Amino acid sequence: MVLLRRAFVAAAAAWAAVIFLAPLAAHRPGSAASGFAWAVYSVGHLVCHQLPERSFALLATPLPVCARCTGLYVGAAAAALFVPAFDDARRRRILAGARALLVVVAIPTAVTLAYEWTTGVMPANWMRAAAGVPLGAAIAWIIREVN
């Protein structure tokens, strides 16, 4: 289980990092870096709509996932890396309330989605990202603690 936890933490941190590295690598055409960028954008396409107007940009290049997804992945990496692990008894008590926790932390994302869908106005990217951070953090924490 410890190996699985460490692999999850490493994967969460690595994905959050490559989201920001891919646009930089995309500016090096014809190199291995451009192949890396292509791979990251391809994976991003599997999990996100990648609309440029809904994404942060580095060097005028949109990130491989939208602002909301960026918030989810950054929150997940932060929780996986920095939220302390608990002893088994405390972990069981906390995980018993995991569903309620997920409902509460999903509220900011739900509010931004409801606003977007009912008004047709997209909240600022920083708001979409900030709304995703708590949900990503909670999901990563639960995954890390269950394994």
Give residue-wise pLDDT tens across range 37-59: 999 999 999 999 999 999 999 99
Q: How many CA atoms lie within 13 A of 95 on its CB side?
A: 16
Task: Point out which residues pair with 61 in neighbouring strands.
Answer: 58
* pLDDT higher at 104 or 31: 104
- Domains: count for the chain: 1
Q: Which residues contact 58 (CB under 8 A, 6 or more apart)?
A: 20, 23, 24
Please state, in angstroms and rounded to a whole number, the distance separating the CA atoms of residues 102 and 87: 21
Residue 37's domain spans which residues? Answer: 2-146
- What is the DSSP code (8-state) at residue 124? P
Percent of the chain with pLDDT over 70: 99
The whole-number pLDDT of residue 65 equals 98
Structure tokens at 141: 């924490």
Reported pTM:
0.86
Per-residue model confidence as pLDDT tens digits over 75-96: 999 999 988 777 777 777 777 8
Is beta strand 57-58 parallel, antiparallel or unpaired with respect to 61-62? antiparallel
**Residue 107 scores a pLDDT above 80:** yes
Mean predicted confidence (pLDDT) in 54-68: 96
Distances (CA, A) of 137 to 9, 23, 32, 45, 71: 12, 24, 32, 22, 9
* % pLDDT > 90, the chain: 73
Tell me the pLDDT of the chain averaged across its residues.
92
Q: Does residue 27 have a pLDDT over 80?
A: yes
